[in-house]
Every structure is written in structure tokens, then in C-alpha cells.
């Protein structure tokens, strides 16, 4: 068990702060799986949902478009009523951040 703990901290030392998301309301060093509201508008809620994600592997490779505009396009939304975010982290080895747009 001690060797496993040492290995986790060595790996995290190699990837730096890749596992920490400063935008998350409750960042987790070892594991995170959170959803939180980014913003809302006064527009009437719709039944369409669009999502756009970006991911990071080992804090060395990052890819994706997690913009509100990409999520809006992916959901075919013309009028945004709300924007949420999700964040997943597994030991800083794999992190995924998504923007979820709701509207009509």
C-alpha cells in the first residue's frame, strides 16, 4: 500500500497541477466528478441541450473545444437559457471538462 501511495504522488508530481481545476467549486486531487452552473439568462428554457468537451492526458496532451459556442452549435441552439459545466479528474492522469448549454 505504501508503494502505491508513493507512486500516486510521484505521478502527480510529474503532471503538476493537471488534475486540479481552479474553476471547479470543489477541486479534488485524486478524483473529481462535479457538475455546476456557470451562468443563466432570462431567456425562456428550451428542450435542447448541447455539449462540448476538452480533455487532458497526464497534463501533457490537451485537446478539444469546450467553448459555449461549440456546445451551442452541437445542440442546434439559437437562444441560450443556461450554461453548466462538468469536470472529471482521475488522479491527474485523465481530466475532462465539458460545457453544457441549454436552450431552444
The grid cell for 103 is: 436552450
Instruction: Give the integer Cα–Cα distance in Å for 7 and 73.
Output: 42
pLDDT score recorded for residue 67 = 95
User: The whole model's pTM is what?
Assistant: 0.72
Residue 43 backbone phi and psi in degrees, to 5: -65, 150
pLDDT score recorded for residue 101 = 95
Contact, 32 vs 73, CB < 8 A? no
pLDDT in tens, the chain (104 residues): 677 666 666 555 555 554 455 556 666 778 888 887 777 767 777 789 999 999 999 888 999 999 999 999 999 999 999 999 999 999 888 999 999 999 99
pLDDT score recorded for residue 80 = 93
Amino acid at each position: 500500500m505504501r508503494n502505491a501511495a508513493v507512486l500516486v504522488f510521484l505521478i502527480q508530481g510529474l503532471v503538476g497541477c493537471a488534475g486540479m481545476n481552479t474553476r471547479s467549486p470543489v477541486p479534488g486531487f485524486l478524483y473529481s466528478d462535479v457538475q455546476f452552473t456557470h451562468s443563466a439568462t432570462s431567456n425562456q428554457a428550451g428542450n435542447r441541450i448541447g455539449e462540448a468537451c476538452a480533455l487532458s492526458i497526464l497534463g501533457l496532451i490537451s485537446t478539444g473545444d469546450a467553448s459555449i459556442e461549440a456546445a451551442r452549435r452541437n445542440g442546434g441552439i439559437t437562444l441560450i437559457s443556461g450554461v453548466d459545466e462538468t469536470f472529471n479528474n482521475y488522479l491527474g492522469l485523465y481530466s475532462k471538462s465539458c460545457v453544457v448549454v441549454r436552450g431552444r
